[in-house]
Amino acid sequence: MSFNSIMIAGLTSIAFTVSAHAAQPPHAMPGELEVDPYEVSNANAGAEPITDPAVLAAFNGEAGIARIVDGLIAGIQADERIEGVFRASDWPRLRRTLIEQFCYILGGPCDYTGRSMASVHVDHGVTTAEFNALVENLQDAMDAEGVPFAMQNRFLARLAPMHGDVVTR
């Protein structure tokens, strides 16, 4: 077992043990900011997983997903249309939970341990234009990873309905 898996298992078991006694924030990994407790569930990912294994393969599996998320984050930080939305983000947590979310939705062997799309985006005042700007950056990252256009669109089709929870302005 990798060090990360041991750590996750350990932290999870600690979280379950103490939850009855104290408000221990779940799934705030070392190097990440504290979060208020919330109910962890794959339903928070906001979409059902794709079951066709060809899609995950087209994304080059977990390694490809990690590279795409890194490319997406770099794109966001350089995009003056939306960098202000993300400027005060907990970047390590955002990277980790995006990878989990994409992996889960693409049918990979991951669970999503982050918060729901609605709760994460409340108060950000995201517009449709800003949502679309993020999708553009994601498309650029998928292009860089060599994901075929049709496969990109099958993934985007799972993300598009999140618009209702993400866009509040």
Partner 1 sequence: MISIRRLLRFALLALGLAACPGLAGAAELRVSVTNSAGEPVPNAVVSLPGELTADFIPAEPLEMAQVDVQFDPFVLVVPRGAEVLFPNRDRVRHHVYSFARGNQFELELYGREQERSVAFSAAGAVPLGCNIHDQMIAFIRVVDTPFAVRTDGDGVAVLTGVPTGMTTLTVWHPYGNAENNLVTLDFDPAVDPAPQVTLDILGQH
**Residues interacting with partner 1, by CB under 8 A?**
83-89, 123-125, 169
**Residue 79 corresponds to which tokens in the numbers above?**
């995009």
Please report, to the nearest 10 degrees, the dihedral formed by the alpha carbons of residues 154, 158, 160, 161 taken in order: 150
User: From the CB of 90, what's the least distance to partner 1, in Å?
Assistant: 9
Nearer to partner 1, 48 or 83 (CB): 83
User: From the CB of 89, what's the least distance to partner 1, in Å?
Assistant: 8
- The enclosing H or E element of 50 equals none
Nearest Cα residue to 166 out of 116, 117, 98, 102: 117
User: From the CB of 122, what's the least distance to partner 1, in Å?
Assistant: 9
Nearer to partner 1, 90 or 143 (CB): 90
Task: Give the position of tokens 């999503």.
Answer: 112
Nearer to partner 1, 63 or 122 (CB): 122
Nearer to partner 1, 17 or 128 (CB): 128
Identify whether the C-beta of residue 145 lies closer than 8 Å to the C-beta of residue 64: yes
- The enclosing H or E element of 61 equals helix 61-78
User: From the CB of 155, what's the least distance to partner 1, in Å?
Assistant: 27
Give the span between the Cα atoms of 134 and 20, in whole angstroms: 39
Nearer to partner 1, 10 or 84 (CB): 84
User: From the CB of 86, what's the least distance to partner 1, in Å?
Assistant: 8
Give the span between the Cα atoms of 153 and 139, in whole angstroms: 9
